[in-house]
C-alpha cells in the first residue's frame, strides 16, 4: 500500500455460497478525496464490491486493506463507522421510529456520551439539510427523503470513506439533482456505483468499469465515457447527453467534474 492510498483491494475474489465467482481477482487502490464511479451492467458485481470494501463480506481470496486499520484487512469492528456504506435500498438502513433515532443509532452504539451523540445527530441532519424531518418516522418518507436520512445515519459516524450504492436510483429528476449536489458537498472520499452514466459524469472524476466481476478499464470519466465501443463491451451506453439530440443533432456537453481537478483530487489505480 503506497502512501496516500486509503483503501486497497489486492487480488480479491468472491463467490456467494454455492454460486459462481462474482468478483474475480480484482485489484484496486483508492486514494484522495472527491468521487470515484463504479459502473457496469446489472449483475456486474458493483454492490458486491462495495460490500467487500466495507468489510461486510469477506473475500474468498485476496485481501482488502484499510490505511486507518494500520493497513490491516478491513474490519468494521476495528474501525467502526469509518467506512460508511449506503445500501441501494434505504429501507435496509432505517429501522427505528424516527429519523433522529436512526441517525443517533451508530454513535450511540459506539458508546459516545449523550451530548456528543446529540451533536453528531444535529451536524449530520444539518449537513444533509433534513433537520425538519428529525421527528418523522422513516417509513413515511418519500424515496428521496429516505435516501437522505440513510445517508445522515452514516455521516453521523464521521466516515473517512463513503460507499454509495446507486444513490440516485428511483429518484425523480429534482430529487436526483438534489442528491447529486449533496454528494458533491460531502468531504470524504466517495465511491459511487451506478448505471446512470450522466450522474457519474457530473459527480465523479475517475471511473472503474466492471464487467462480470473484473475491471474492464479505469481512467478519467471523460476519457472512458466518450468511448462507446468500450462502454458497449461492458453492456453500457454512453451518457444520454452524449447521444446527441434527435431533433437538432447537437450533443450537450456541460461542465465536467474533472474541471475541479487539483490538489488532492480522487485517484484510482489497479
3 binds, among Mg ion, ligand ADP, none (CB under 5 to 8 A by kind): none
Distance CA 148, CA 185 (A): 13
Q: Phi first, then psi: what are they for 28, rounded to 5°?
A: -165, 130
Give CA 251 to chain center in angstroms: 28
Task: Answer yes or no whether residue 249 interacts with ligand ADP by CB under 6 A.
Answer: no
Task: Answer yes or no whether residue 115 interacts with ligand ADP by CB under 6 A.
Answer: no
Closest CA to 61 of 24, 28, 29, 30: 24
Residues 24-83 that bind ligand ADP (CB under 6 A): 40, 42-48
22 binds, among ligand ADP, Mg ion, none (CB under 5 to 8 A by kind): ligand ADP
Distance CA 68, CA 203 (A): 25
Give 12 or 22: the residue with its C-beta nearer to ligand ADP. Answer: 22
Q: Phi first, then psi: what are they for 253, rounded to 5°?
A: -135, 90
Residues that contact ligand ADP, how many (by CB under 6 A): 11
CB of 22 to ligand ADP, least distance (A): 4
Q: Which stretch binds ligand ADP (CB under 6 A): 14-22, 28-36, 55-63, 258-266?
A: 14-22
Task: Answer yes or no whether residue 168 interacts with Mg ion by CB under 5 A.
Answer: no
Task: Return the residue of 47, 79, 148, 156 that touches Mg ion, per CB under 5 A.
Answer: 47
Task: Answer yes or no whether residue 90 interacts with ligand ADP by CB under 6 A.
Answer: no
CB-CB contact of 165 with 46 (8 Å): yes
138 binds, among ligand ADP, Mg ion, none (CB under 5 to 8 A by kind): none
CB of 166 to ligand ADP, least distance (A): 8
16 binds, among Mg ion, ligand ADP, none (CB under 5 to 8 A by kind): ligand ADP
**DSSP class of 227:** -
Task: Return the residue of 5, 12, 22, 30 that touches ligand ADP, per CB under 6 A.
Answer: 22
Give 47 or 153: the residue with its C-beta nearer to Mg ion. Answer: 47
Distance CA 156, CA 45 (A): 28
Could you tell me where the DSSP H helices lie in 32-142? 46-53, 99-109, 114-128
Residue 186: count other Cβ atoms within 10 Å of its Cβ. 18
Give 5 or 57: the residue with its C-beta nearer to ligand ADP. Answer: 57
Q: Phi first, then psi: what are they for 125, rounded to 5°?
A: -70, -35
Give 43 or 97: the residue with its C-beta nearer to ligand ADP. Answer: 43
Distance CA 61, CA 22 (A): 12
Closest CA to 225 of 192, 193, 259, 202: 202
Q: Which stretches of the chain bind ligand ADP, using CB under 6 A?
A: 16, 19, 22, 40, 42-48
Q: Which stretches of the chain bind Mg ion, using CB under 5 A?
A: 46-47
Amino acid at each position: 500500500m503506497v502512501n496516500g492510498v486509503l483503501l486497497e483491494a489486492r487480488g480479491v475474489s468472491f463467490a456467494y455460497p454455492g454460486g459462481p465467482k462474482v468478483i474475480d481477482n480484482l485489484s484496486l487502490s483508492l486514494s484522495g478525496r472527491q468521487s470515484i464511479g463504479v459502473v457496469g451492467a446489472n449483475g456486474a458485481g458493483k454492490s458486491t464490491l462495495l460490500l467487500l470494501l466495507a468489510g461486510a463480506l469477506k473475500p474468498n481470496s485476496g485481501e482488502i486493506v484499510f490505511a486507518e486499520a494500520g493497513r490491516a484487512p478491513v474490519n468494521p469492528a476495528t474501525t467502526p463507522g469509518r467506512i460508511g456504506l449506503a445500501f441501494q435500498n434505504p429501507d435496509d438502513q432505517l429501522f427505528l421510529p424516527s429519523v433522529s433515532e436512526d441517525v443517533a443509532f451508530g454513535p450511540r452504539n459506539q458508546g459516545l456520551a449523550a451530548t456528543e451523540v446529540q451533536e453528531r445527530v444535529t451536524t449530520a441532519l444539518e449537513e444533509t439539510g433534513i433537520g425538519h424531518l428529525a421527528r418523522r418516522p422513516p417509513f413515511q418518507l418519500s424515496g428521496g427523503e429516505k435516501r437522505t436520512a440513510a445517508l445522515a445515519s452514516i455521516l453521523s459516524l464521521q466516515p473517512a470513506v463513503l460507499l454509495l450504492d446507486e444513490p440516485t436510483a428511483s429518484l425523480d429528476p429534482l430529487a436526483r439533482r438534489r442528491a447529486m449536489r449533496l454528494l458533491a458537498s460531502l468531504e470524504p472520499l466517495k465511491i459511487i456505483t451506478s448505471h446512470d452514466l450522466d450522474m457519474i459524469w457530473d459527480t465523479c472524476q475517475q471511473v472503474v468499469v466492471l464487467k462480470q466481476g473484473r475491471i474492464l478499464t479505469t481512467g478519467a470519466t471523460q476519457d472512458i465515457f466518450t468511448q462507446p465501443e468500450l462502454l458497449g463491451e461492458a453492456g453500457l451506453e454512453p451518457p444520454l447527453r452524449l447521444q446527441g439530440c434527435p431533433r437538432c443533432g447537437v450533443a450537450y456537453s456541460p461542465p465536467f467534474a474533472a474541471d475541479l481537478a487539483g490538489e488532492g483530487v480522487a485517484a484510482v489505480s489497479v
